[in-house]
């Protein structure tokens, strides 16, 4: 490491709080000629070394911190240690006793910016989403094999954020090779098939695991509407919990095909559930116009606001979908409403949902605040990691 990232005077405050991102506007100059992903020493204007970080010349996040210890050695052993710690944390979680599908590495919150790894039974799915992650890809893959014993690692480095890092998308087996279009997993006794090759994110929404359990516990005897159902996670949880009937809506035909496979993989009364391909917004308007009513509604829409810059347009979409949900929610019914948009903080999300209830003429109260499962930890110094937020509401 021969390069240094020199900060402008007064721009070290976030680093002293151990926030791992350094934006381009904080850069006074770069000393040396680092290549993309190389480790640089981050120095204050007075020359003090504050951190060691990965250089990313194409990104607005110009460097991502590996360590705040100036004496650390960023080498293969460093990544082996970080991966081992992350995997050990998941093995100790209660969820490991109830599912063979867990998030093993959660990027910045595990001290590995740009690295995301999910486990689906004996297959790992890895994403390398930053210049630094790309630079250390091979040692990280080696460490994952060693820490988990899994020989098959499928790479899904196809997220749009890679383009912001100046990186081309890449998918395919990074280690091993096996059929991975339908990984069979079990979550709290429910069987699912996960398409790690073509599915959204890494194939399944592991962050909603505990929230699916919450819906399962509340579903008995209720008429349930599951919006944006993807491959049927909430819908099947509600069915397992004793829902009287479930209507599950999803726009993707491919996702619904897997949802129906998931239904067949379990001993469910299929007549109590209907999967329907539809534009969710349009279909809910039709249900409203027909006077339909449900006792439990789940809203888990896609990411409307990936960044704060998209918040205004996203707020409109979140308000519209929640307004329609309140129109369809019977008195005494429950609404589980979620946002996975990092650009929408919880206070704004609550305000949006409150406005939707007001416009729908519904009185409601918050019963619980919901978030991501514990295998998606949030580092105290990185609040941006707290992307999934949810409200469980009771309509009076």
Catalytic positions: 340
- Residue 358 makes CB contacts below 8 A (sequence gap 6+) with none
Which residue's entry shows tokens 């705040």?
68
The rounded distance, in Å, linking the Cα atoms of 201 and 195 is: 10
Beta-strand pair 115-120/123-128: antiparallel
DSSP, collapsed to helix, strand or coil, labels residue 281 as helix
Instruction: Determine the length of the chain.
Output: 396
**12: phi then psi, degrees, rounded to nearest 5:** -95, 0
CA angle 201, 210, 265 (to 5 degrees): 70
The rounded distance, in Å, linking the Cα atoms of 172 and 11 is: 40
Going by C-alpha positions, the residue among 362, 348, 372 that lies closest to residue 394 is 362
Between the CA of residue 11 and those of 7, 111, 160, 290, 384, what are the distances in Å?
A: 6, 22, 28, 58, 19
Structure tokens at 121: 């039974």
Structure tokens at 120: 């689906």
Q: What is the DSSP letter of 8?
A: P
């Amino acid at each position: 490491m021969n390069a240094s990232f020199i900060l402008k005077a007064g721009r070290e405050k976030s680093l002293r709080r151990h926030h791992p991102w350094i934006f381009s506007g904080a850069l006074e100059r770069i000393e040396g000629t680092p290549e993309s992903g190389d480790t640089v020493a981050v120095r204050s204007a007075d020359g003090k070394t504050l951190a060691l970080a990965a250089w990313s010349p194409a990104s607005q996040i110009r460097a991502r911190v590996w360590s705040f210890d100036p004496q650390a050695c960023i080498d293969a052993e460093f990544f082996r240690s970080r991966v081992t710690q992350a995997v050990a944390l998941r093995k100790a979680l209660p969820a490991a006793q109830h599912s063979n599908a867990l998030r093993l590495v959660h990027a910045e919150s595990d001290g590995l910016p740009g690295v995301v790894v999910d486990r689906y039974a004996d297959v790992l799915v890895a994403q390398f989403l930053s210049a630094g992650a790309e630079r250390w890809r091979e040692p990280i893959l080696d460490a994952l094999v060693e820490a988990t014993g899994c020989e098959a690692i499928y790479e899904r480095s196809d997220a749009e954020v890679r383009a912001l890092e100046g990186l081309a998308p890449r998918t395919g087996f990074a280690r091993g090779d096996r059929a991975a279009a339908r990984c069979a997993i079990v979550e709290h006794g429910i069987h699912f098939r996960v398409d790690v090759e073509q599915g959204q994110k890494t194939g399944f929404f592991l962050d909603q695991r505990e929230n699916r359990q919450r819906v399962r516990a509340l579903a008995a005897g209720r008429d349930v509407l599951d919006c944006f159902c993807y491959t049927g996670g909430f819908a099947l949880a509600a069915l397992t919990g004793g829902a009287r009937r479930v209507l599950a809506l999803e726009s993707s035909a491919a996702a619904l095909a897997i949802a129906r496979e998931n239904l067949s993989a379990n001993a469910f009364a299929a007549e109590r559930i209907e999967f329907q391909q539809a534009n969710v917004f349009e279909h809910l308007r039709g249900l409203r116009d027909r006077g339909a009513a449900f006792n439990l509604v789940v809203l888990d829409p896609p990411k409307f606001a990936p960044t704060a810059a998209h918040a205004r347009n996203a707020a409109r979409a979140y308000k519209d979908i929640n307004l329609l949900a309140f129109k369809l929610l019977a008195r005494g019914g429950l609404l589980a409403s979620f946002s996975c948009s990092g650009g929408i903080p919880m206070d704004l999300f609550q305000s949006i949902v409150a406005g939707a209830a007001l416009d729908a003429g519904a009185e409601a109260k918050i019963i619980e605040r919901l978030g991501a499962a514990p295998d998606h930890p949030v580092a105290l110094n990185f609040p941006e990691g707290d992307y999934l937020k949810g409200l469980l509401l009771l309509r009076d």
